[in-house]
A and B are shown apart, each in its own frame.
Chain A
Amino acid sequence: GAGVSQSPSNKVTEKGKDVELRCDPISGHTALYWYRQRLGQGLEFLIYFQGNSAPDKSGLPSDRFSAERTGESVSTLTIQRTQQEDSAVYLCASTLTLGGTDTQYFGPGTRLTVL
């Protein structure tokens, strides 16, 4: 596709439910990143993928968060037993290559609201 796409655009869920967020990176982009952005704040790095490998998971807030990626394609971020503090916009970005200074292209994000 022309850009990074994410689905759903909005997700409202009840506390304790599991949610799955999807990211489709730009075709051919090797690296993929997940960020979280709370209202009025900057972006928090969560995890990145090189291909389908995730060498750095240091930003994942807790073991309720997990992510996977199929090859150099779709990635899913799963949040289990959601809590109200998980409410945020979850942004995905991709770059053509890993390393260097390639521009990160961001998707429109998924706005998650946990009631």
Chain B
Amino acid sequence: AQTVTQSQPEMSVQEAETVTLSCTYDTSESDYYLFWYKQPPSRQMILVIRQEAYKQQNATENRFSVNFQKAAKSFSLKISDSQLGDAAMYFCAYRRLYNNDMRFGAGTRLTVKP
């Protein structure tokens, strides 16, 4: 079974600084998708960034980037120039290529200090 582990229940960062959220996963598949979702206090789950496992290049979306280490089964999220609006729960998720079942980690609560 595929599992997703987020080892940091809570993280905090100073505004304008950089923070990295960790995620590891367990799979025997070679092709799959990885995601980071953000869930602010309003509860709307929003896609932050996605990565296809067959792509070696790390995905980047503005201030958000990932460090995808396929051999280590690691998929960390880096948030640069943190803003107050980045405060939220962040969920790492995994999905096999031809499967509907998205597996989520337990989440990391990020606090941004002004």
- The yes or no verdict on A and B being binding partners is no
